[in-house]
Amino acid sequence: MTWPNLTDAQRRMLIDSEPDDRTGTEGCGVELRTGADYAVAKALERRKLGHREGPGGSLPGMYWSNAMGLAVRAALKSRHGRATRYTMPDGRSFIVTGRYYLASCDRCGWVGSSEECGTDSGFDDSDVYCPRCESPGADYGSEANTASEEVIEP
């Protein structure tokens, strides 16, 4: 997926709707205060990057990014300008940015970005260690190999 014509306001709203701290798969709500904010939220909703609600009663209107909106957010924030969404057969998904890849540990079952892993040297990645149990070999764990991938570039 590419998004070549996001406006600055749309990019800002995506950045502001950061991942929630419970699941990490939904964006935190962004308050819609002006007509311009509503227009931006509607445009992101049309692109299927999130949804909006309200205003309703005493509550303001709000915008939340969905999983795709969070993937675009990750790519926008990445210094390499791209993100990859890995989806496991059981439906779990992981977003990995830049030059990193999906890694997994066969010993403890951890799955995540290779960015989180340790290495045996500061100069190469000849052995990648699991961030949870510190086992070597997280760069070629069997669970990561079952994921499908979708590259998302700006």
pLDDT in tens, 51-91: 888 777 666 788 888 888 888 887 777 755 677 888 899 98
| Same-domain pairing of 86 and 145 | yes
pLDDT value of position 81: 63
Number of domains into which the chain is organized: 2
2 located within any domain: no
Look at residue 2 and tell me whether its pLDDT is greater than 50: no
Residue-wise pLDDT tens digits, 13-34: 888 887 766 666 667 788 898 8
Report the percent of the chain where pLDDT is more than 70.
82
Point out the domain boundary residue: 75, 97, 117.
75
Cα–Cα distance, 133 to 116 (Å, whole number): 12
What is the average pLDDT across 113-139?
77
Query: Taking a C-beta distance cutoff of 8 angstroms, is the pair 69, 83 a contact?
Result: no
Query: Taking a C-beta distance cutoff of 8 angstroms, is the pair 18, 50 a contact?
Result: no
The token pair at 117 is 């892993």
- Coil, helix or strand at residue 72: helix
| Same-domain pairing of 55 and 115 | no
